[in-house]
Structure 1
């Protein structure tokens, strides 16, 4: 890392050089940044992928990208519509912001919440999380809930300053950004984690930026997703894309091994919830059993509760 790079961003993210001209901005748990980002130097062009949940964190991301590459950020790519990956867009409002066509459609059709309603909702979520935190039974769950509460509190404090800035350039299937030193592919295989999920592939260094489609030993939130289709997308990623390093939407930089990890989760957790729903016992009875191994060692253990209840309700209501 150049000595001139300011390290004050460390309160929000740590920087990892993944390959020549490619850096992962891995969020600090509980900081409020929430979703990882990435910086790509194309030679004469700088690209940032995702912009965190807080504009303040995005400001540091912008400064860091420009210090690393020596160039103003020109392109922003948003991987999907969840706020922890695009609330920081406003810092880049005068740049070219790219998303899949359907991602922009969701964000423009469903406008931002009214401020008071948004703040009330966050306060209710924080109160509910604090109640669960008081009775949490494992150190890992206590830690995960503590991070989640801190992130919600940081977002609540930032809500008056957040304004939605959506893509001004969209694509349907794939597009390429050409720089003087390299070309990157921005593409989607459809929707799995959400209705539309974008990835970025850097072929010359075999790096894949996967958004929330593939995480690194971190529970993926399923509540807006389609687990069956999601599995097919992850299988396609594993069979069609030649990558050695992966920057996930959450968790640490990983390698191809995370494909099988995600497939195992997307298969086994729905199967576990289905068996629970068919058992006649309550969701709470099954939740009390804890998280099935090996996923009990993954980060974000509170998300398992969300996933399990959502799946359980789907299976009991079908």
Structure 2
């Protein structure tokens, strides 16, 4: 359960508003609350291609038995850029009636699949068919599968950032993205190595046993600059063009060093922090291939 978060009592809100335009990364958040936490990375998992091939045959037989005239396929996405993504397609009378793109990530070769979530993108969803497919896949992969409605571009952004950062840059230095599965939240986990941020960690730790701290403007300034520098140095992104009216910084909670959790809430924009992503940046970066995918089926 998320702890109660202190507000930044030492930061003048008018000063914060005047200076927020200096930090391009946060300019794009419109009337959103930004909660910043230091947490451990999320744990995801990957699926072995041979295991998927076996599952594909069973999945097709299952659909043909349960739904007459329906064909199904499990596809390991292999077209460039190669992503550890499972695509589930169901065709009825030549028409695509169900499609779920499931994202699963891990750099731990011996990590089991048990009870870990999959990211799903579902289109042309038929309720009965969708529930049946998700139930079958969850049992087959021995995991919890939760679906969320995303556009294809949003899903590509999600996979591109998560894989490029979580895998290519190693699990301990990157971005992992998860969805709260309630249609209202997106979580972005990012690791920042900037010297200013390291200094911020130590400053927070000096505040005593409490995990909740108040930071002065200088510390918040360093934090924002470190976030912007991280994305600038990693991707060359430094111009995020979305409208902004204000930003509310609510608190910082210390759990582990080196990892930030940014929790953006809002029902109208699911992945608000993904809006700045330039697809050419993702496409120009060679993404991690599937060579490290889990061999323990």
Fold agreement, TM-score > 0.5: no
Bucket of the pairwise TM-score, normalised by the shorter protein: under 0.3
User: How high is the TM-score relative to the length of structure 2?
Assistant: 0.23
Greater fraction of residues in helix:
1
The structure having more radius of gyration, on CA atoms, is 2
